[in-house]
Structure formats: C-alpha cells, structure tokens
Structure 1
Amino acid sequence: MEGSNAKGASRRNVLAGAALLTGSMVATRAAAQGGVPGDILSFSRDVREPDLIVPLWPSGRMPGGPVPNVKEAVDDQWDNAGLRYRVAEHVTRPTLSYFAPANPTGAAVLITPGGGYSRVGIDREGYESARWMNSLGVAAFVLRYRLPADRWGAGALVALQDAQRAMRLIRSGGEGRWKVDPRRVTVMGGSAGGHLALSLAIKVYDRTYPMLDDMDHLLTRPDGAILLYPVVTLGEGTHVGSRTALLGPNPSAEAVAQWSFDRSVPGITPPILLVHAVHDRVVPVDHSLALFAAVRASGGAIDMHLFEEGAHGLGLRGDPAWPISRWPDLARAWQVRSGLA
C-alpha cells in the first residue's frame, strides 16, 4: 500500500510540474505577443445587462419539488475595487440570461457561476464572462440555477435539472429568440459551478426529469467544458461547504461516489480545459489533478493549466501580474483549436 501511494504521489508531482511548465510557457509566449487584446478587467467594469432573461421551465411544470419555503433574493454589493458583486440566494425561478454578440460566429457558451451550491454568482463568473465571450462573437447564456442547499424535493438533482434544461433551451433557439450552432455549445463554470458544469459533461445519459415538450429530445451533453478551479470530488479533500450544500451534513458513501468525478469518467465526456492555482486555499489543486488523471485514463481529451499564484474565484478579476490572469487567452486558443469558436 505504501508503495502504491508513493507511486501515485510521484505521478501527481510529475503532472503538476509538467502543467506548471506548460502554463508558464504559454503565458510567457502570450505576454510576448501582447496577451489578451485590451483590458480584460473592462468586462468587469462594463455595466451592460442581459439582452434577454427567459424562464427555464414552462409555467407550473418545473420538476424537482416540492418547493422549499424560501424567498428568492439578490444580495447586491460592491467589492473593494469598486466592482459590482451580486449573488442570487434561494433561487425558486431559475432563468437563463442571454447576451447577444454584435458579430456572432454561431458558437455559444452556457455559464454556470459558482457559489458553493448555496448561492449563485451573477456578476463575477457570470455576466462579466458573458460580456467577454460576446467580444469574441460567442453567444453567452448565464444560468441562475436552483440551489440544493435549500433542500428541494429532488435534492442534489435540482441544479443539474436546470443545467440540462438550459442546454436544451440554448440548442432549441429559444423559439426563434437566438440562433446558434447546436454542435458548438460549450459549458463554462468555476468552483461549485465548475462541478455543475462537470456534472453536465459527465452525466450525459442521466435523464433527471420527465420529458415536458419537444425541446427535451435535444442532447444535454456540451461540446466542450471550460472549468475554473472546479470542485471535482466530494470525498477526501473536498470543499466541505459545497458537499454539505449538495448532499447534506451526513451523506452516504454512495451519494458521495455518485457526485465525485475523480476516479473514472465515461469515454463520451467532451474535451475539457482546466485552470487552477496551485495554492488555491478553497478548492485544492488536487481536484484538477485527479480529474486530469481520470480523463486521461478514459482516453478523453483534456488540457490543464496550473499556476503557482492565483486566488480562488477570480473570474476575470485576477491581478494582472499573475500569469493565471491570462487564462482567457488560453481558453480562447483552446476554443479555436477545438472548433468551438
């Protein structure tokens, strides 16, 4: 057993070293070429709101009940840099916020912001990322999903129900309200939102709710996934807040295994881009290392970029001096190479 652990630790060290070298080389090359066009923080300072906000579910037919006795609210604050920081709490009316690009390429992205499954980010990891994607010609959709921490009847499934319905709604064209290529829809999420995005990418055969209309014939599997400092495992080394919110204070071993993605993933999992800081104090970098190994073992496609410095939940607000702040440049290159731009 000790030999096996040592071998695993050695392999993880090699992976970490290789990823750090790759991330640093790419960031250095990007800096030499001018990096990300413009000021990436401009998308955080922008005040543009969604072009359209649509409900996910037909009136009176939302699955996952009974509805908990909570009141939906938005906590509206400003951070120390003067940037707006809204979060949604106790979501009972899940929605999709659509940002239309001025010069559409046909590609689209479903954005699932983090919040530990007890809140949902609106600005950071949400609207700001949508504005950035719009600047690249990508139609962006920000999901305000229901929170398992509120203890819905369907438990942990409610957030995934919303994510699956959102993917179908995007591909359907929203009854003519937008036009996207259904074969170029990426999902992007950070932290617990990264776990939700990963659940969408991996649980592709799980039908989490009864069919409601023709839209529910459409596939929920995204064509690619951009995961920022994601929660991957709910077992040892997990982010305890996310696990408790998703599964309750004393989850069974079976429930933990069902919602952990650190051991094996199906071969049908779409291509993945991973970004993580080695010294992330909220979600350990071991989460991304474990996912990288699991996807590689399945024969899947995964790019991983690790950085020495960086904060959890930075979104587009990272310190420009940190190489990790150039993750949008890496993500864009990955989108183009993967045919998702």
Structure 2
Amino acid sequence: MKTFSILFLFIGLSVSAQIKTLALWPEGKMPNKQKSDEKEVINKGDIRWITKVQTPTLEIYIPPKASANGQAVLVCPGGGYAGLAYDWEGTEIAKYLNSKGIAAGVLKYRLPGSASVKENFKAPLQDAQRGIRMLRANASAWNIDKKKLGVMGFSAGGHLASTLGTHFQEAFYSAIDETDSEEIRPDFMILIYPVISMDTKITHQGSRDNLLGDHPTEALEKQFSNDLQVTANTPKTFILHASDDDTVPVENSLRMYKALQEHDVETEMHIYPTGGHGFSLANGMYYLQSWSDRLTDWLRNLN
C-alpha cells in the first residue's frame, strides 16, 4: 500500500508539473490598455465562463517528453467576443490534444468590450499574436518544433484563429522584448464552427457587434472578413461545422473553404448534418463525437 501511495503521489506531481499558467505580458507592458475600475469575472457554472478579462494568460499543457510529437496548438475559446467558454472550448481541448502527444496553450484573451481596452478590435489579436510567439519562444523547453505550431479556435475563437492565420504580415503591437522576435504566422489552422465573415447576411451578429461596434466602416468590415484575406501563403486548414448551426451559419465555413481552394491552400473540411452550435468535443453525441478522430488523422498527416 505504501508503494502504491508513493507511486500515485509521484504521478500526481508529474501531471501537475505539466500545466502552468503564464501572464502574456510583462507587468506594465500590456499594449492597448487604459486604466479602469473593471474587474475580471469568472462564473463557475456548468461551463467556466470568463468575462471582462483583465490579465490575459497562456495556460500551458505539455505532454510527457516520451510521447510529444513536436506539434503545439494555441487554443482560442469562443464566446461571441463577449466572454470565454474557457474549459468547454479551452482546457478540455488542451487535455485532448495532450493525449495525442500535442502541446497546447489555452489563450485567455482580452475582450473588445472591456473598459480596460483602448482600441477594441485590436485587443484579441494582440493577445493571440503574443500567445503564439510565447509558444515559439519556449519551444525547446516545452518539446515543441517551431515549424509545427498551429492555432485552433471555436466560434468567435475560430474568428480569432482565422484572423491570426490571415493577418500575420504585421504585428498589431510594438515589440517589447525578445519574445516578440518570434514569427506570428501559424503553421496550420483548426477552425471549429467558426465565425469567418463580418457580412451581415451570414455573420454572427453578436460577435460582429462586439468586435467592430454597431457601425463599423466598410473597410473594417472587409478587413475582418477573413475569407477575403486569404492568400496563397495562408496556413493549411482544417474546418468543422454542422449544417443545422443556427447561431453561426455554415456559410461562414463554406466561404472560407472556397477562398482557401481558390488560393490552392491545402484544406480539409467536415460538414455534419446535425450538431448545432457549441458542441466542443461532442461527447455522447453519437457519430459527431468522432470528429476529433478526423482532426487527429489530419494532424498526424501534417507530420
């Protein structure tokens, strides 16, 4: 019994040592910040829901070195740019990726409606760009291959992921330290029931309003319609959606797929007939829950 107790203690310490939470920005160096009395709110109901993010972080999940395959994913939870479904589309996803030998960093990013943000639409992308740079800057310590580092996002987090993958020509903030010398282009994108377009005919109106405001300019609407920003240098992409999604129309994914195909970007897309919106890993949802196997196959093929 004593031997088993020591063994379980060792296993517990080993597992906990593989998870760490890091502040994205050094103290006093966060860009696009203004003073406010706003406080971060964490609702620990069925889904851990975070709003009014004040201290953006990167929660790192590192698989054991023996099983690490070198891949890493920056995970962007969704929430309509109003909040973050932090465990449902964040930490639970990171644990799944770890089980496949893939490192993950869950991004707790600032939301555009925060009173602590100056230019609303820039804040999420600034945090995402910093997040992928942090993963690359620590690649050696975390058993990551810098050339196998992608981004994954759900719903509005899918919009953020696709923004990172189509707006990498320049950083949205000035460099503050050595980490910012790292590349911001992801090597691949994973877009799960993503918001893609700001076109009012197909967008998720809440995400659009929260990110761009009620009356954005035509130029800003086009800039953040990411199907219009695809080029031949856009990263390889995996797309997943359900046809009966009545929150984010499947047309978002169809437009992105079409744009990627037109620019000869390697893309795999899976459209399920049912599933609705916000199903995460779809546990217990019959054959829909096998979507993660399709993703695992695709990721293995990238290697």
- Normalized against structure 2, the TM-score is what? 0.90
Instruction: Give 1:38's aligned residue.
Output: none
1:264, 1:298 within 8 Å by CA — same for their partners in 2? Answer: no
Instruction: Give 2:296's aligned residue.
Output: 332
1:192, 1:230 within 8 Å by CA — same for their partners in 2? Answer: yes
Aligned residue identity for 1:75:
N
2:230, 2:259 within 8 Å by CA — same for their partners in 1? Answer: yes
CA distance in 1, matches of 2:37, 2:255: 37
Q: Deviation per CA, 1:301-335, whole angstroms, max 9, x where unpaired?
A: 111110101121111134432x3321101101110
Q: Deviation per CA, 1:75-118, whole angstroms, max 9, x where unpaired?
A: 1102xxxxxx1011100100000112132222111100101111
Q: 1:50 to 1:190 in 2, by over 3 A?
A: farther
Instruction: Give 2:30's aligned residue.
Output: 62
Alignment of 1:145-294 (within 5 A): 145-150=109-114, 152-173=117-138, 178-235=142-199, 236-294=201-259
- The alignment partner of 2:96 has SS state of helix
Please point out which of 60, 77, 85 is paired with 2:45: 77
Instruction: Give 1:93's aligned residue.
Output: 55
1:190, 1:230 within 8 Å by CA — same for their partners in 2? Answer: yes
Q: Deviation per CA, 1:193-250, whole angstroms, max 9, x where unpaired?
A: 0000000011011220001111111111111111100000011221000001101111
Aligned residue identity for 1:93:
T
With a CA cutoff of 8 Å and minimum separation of 6, indicate the structure with the bigger relative contact order: 1
Q: Deviation per CA, 1:280-321, whole angstroms, max 9, x where unpaired?
A: 010000000000111111121111110101121111134432
- The alignment partner of 1:262 has SS state of helix
Q: Deviation per CA, 1:30-67, whole angstroms, max 9, x where unpaired?
A: xxxxxxxxxxxxxxxxx989711000001100001224
Q: Which runs of 5+ in 2 are unaligned?
A: 1-14
CA distance in 2, matches of 1:67, 1:318: 42
CA distance in 2, matches of 1:289, 1:133: 26
Aligned residue identity for 1:301:
E
1:67, 1:92 within 8 Å by CA — same for their partners in 2? Answer: no
- The alignment partner of 2:194 has SS state of coil
Q: 1:89 to 1:264 in 2, by over 3 A?
A: closer
Aligned residue identity for 2:243:
V
2:222, 2:228 within 8 Å by CA — same for their partners in 1? Answer: no
CA distance in 1, matches of 2:141, 2:86: 22
Q: 1:164 to 1:264 in 2, by over 3 A?
A: closer
Q: 1:318 to 1:49 in 2, by over 3 A?
A: farther
CA distance in 2, matches of 1:337, 1:279: 29
2:48, 2:86 within 8 Å by CA — same for their partners in 1? Answer: yes
Aligned residue identity for 2:121:
A
CA distance in 1, matches of 2:250, 2:289: 17
Instruction: Give 1:105's aligned residue.
Output: 69
Q: How many residues align?
A: 285
Q: 1:271 to 1:126 in 2, by over 3 A?
A: same
Aligned residue identity for 2:265:
G
Q: How far apart are residue 183 of structure 1 and its match? A: 0.7
1:263, 1:290 within 8 Å by CA — same for their partners in 2? Answer: no
Please point out which of 92, 99, 102 is paired with 1:128: 92
1:51 aligns with 2:40: no
- The alignment partner of 1:206 has SS state of coil
- Normalized against structure 1, the TM-score is what? 0.80
Q: 1:49 to 1:237 in 2, by over 3 A?
A: farther
Q: Deviation per CA, 1:140-167, whole angstroms, max 9, x where unpaired?
A: 1100000002252122011000000000
Of all paired residues, the percent bearing the same amino acid is 37
CA distance in 2, matches of 1:292, 1:49: 39
Aligned residue identity for 1:234:
M
